[in-house]
Amino acid sequence: MTTTCTGTGTTAGARAHARAQEAAALDATPTQPTRPASAWPAPPEGIDATAMVHAEVVAGGGYTHLAVARGTHVMLTDLVGDACAHVLAYRLDRPWERLNVADTVKVQWQVYLTAGHLLLSDQGRVLASIVGDTSGRQDALYGTTTRARNEERYGDGAAHGESPAGRELFALAAAKHDLARRDLPPSISFFQGVRVDDEGRPVFEGSAGAGAAITLRAEVPLLLLVANTAHPLDPRPFTSTPLEVVAWRGEPTADTDELWTATPEGRRAFVNTVTDLTARGIA
């Protein structure tokens, strides 16, 4: 006799339920990396598929985390036009050294980060450089959303809710690498712009539109946490659309690169970085 199992009260029923959930998620938006990454159907222009090391689409309200080697290039693309990539960066080999947004802005005399700017740690070293930006939309001032604020605005801020807060998504991503909430510093965000007017007030600029992309180059062994959720200053009802995240093998910035000597502050940060890596046998 054949017995049909329904619900999750049996092993067979639970398995069927789990597989149905996976199928539904894949039908909506892929949220798991393609393996191998070389099978990604549309590598970035000029990039050989065999160089790809990571490729996925993060659903609106989702998150990802990736650990990459020094020199790896990571491209984030706003596929539909309303993604917002909140980003945290850590030294993979020593995660207590992490993105310091205040130093990143202060040292470079620039609050609007775009191609040619660096993501700095509080040790005066370069975690990543921005080597491509077609969006012109970013924010290094207002961080990401919190659960309390999202509950107030949207009625929900839980990580698995309808309007997940960035801090909640970061906490999940961080836990995959044995990091806790205390390890979550202020983040930067891309694709939803904020400008400060002459009166010192923030002006939400919104998105650059579908297809906007930003490319980061890892200058150290790097851990990236990415939360794709609404910007805290977005005045609309909760809005978050898919974000593509791809990465490929490359080389770190060399002292012959124009970026190395573009500013005295940047040169000092690169020297600090290479000096430390060399002493540790990484460079």
Q: Is the dihedral of CA 227, 81, 142, 152 positive or negative?
A: negative
Q: Is the dihedral of CA 195, 197, 200, 204 positive or negative?
A: negative
- Evaluate whether 207 touches 78 at the Cβ level (below 8 Å): yes
By CB atoms closer than 10 A (0-12, 13-18, 19+), residue 91 is buried
- Evaluate whether 246 touches 52 at the Cβ level (below 8 Å): yes
Q: Are strands 62-68 and 73-78 parallel, antiparallel or unpaired?
A: unpaired
Report CA Rg, the chain: 20
Domain count, the chain: 1
In whole angstroms, give the CA distance from residue 228 to residue 82: 10
Backbone angles phi, psi at 208, to 5 degrees: -80, -10
In whole angstroms, give the CA distance from residue 149 to residue 165: 8
In a domain, 55, yes or no: yes
Q: For the chain, first and last CA: distance in Å?
A: 66
Both tokens assigned to 217: 């180059």
In a domain, 78, yes or no: yes
In a domain, 263, yes or no: no
pLDDT in 10s for each residue of the chain, 283 residues: 444 445 667 777 767 666 565 544 444 455 678 789 999 998 999 999 999 999 999 999 999 999 999 999 999 999 999 999 999 999 999 999 999 999 999 999 999 999 999 999 999 999 999 999 999 999 999 999 999 999 999 999 999 999 999 999 999 999 999 999 999 999 999 999 999 999 999 999 999 899 999 999 999 999 999 999 999 999 999 999 999 999 999 999 999 999 999 999 999 999 999 999 999 998 7
| DSSP category for residue 146 | -
Cis-peptide, bond into residue 36, ω within 30° of zero: yes
Both tokens assigned to 210: 């579908």
User: So what's the pLDDT on residue 116?
Assistant: 96
In a domain, 232, yes or no: yes
> Whole domain around residue 232: which residue ranges?
29-37+51-251
What's the angle, vertex CA 50, arms to CA 48 and CA 52, rounded to 5? 85
In a domain, 144, yes or no: yes
Both tokens assigned to 149: 């604020």
In whole angstroms, give the CA distance from residue 173 to residue 175: 5
Exposed e or buried b for every residue in 26-42, given b needs 16+ CB within 10 A? eeebbbebbeebeebee
In a domain, 11, yes or no: no
Amino acid identity of residue 117, one-letter, is H
In a domain, 21, yes or no: no
In a domain, 16, yes or no: no
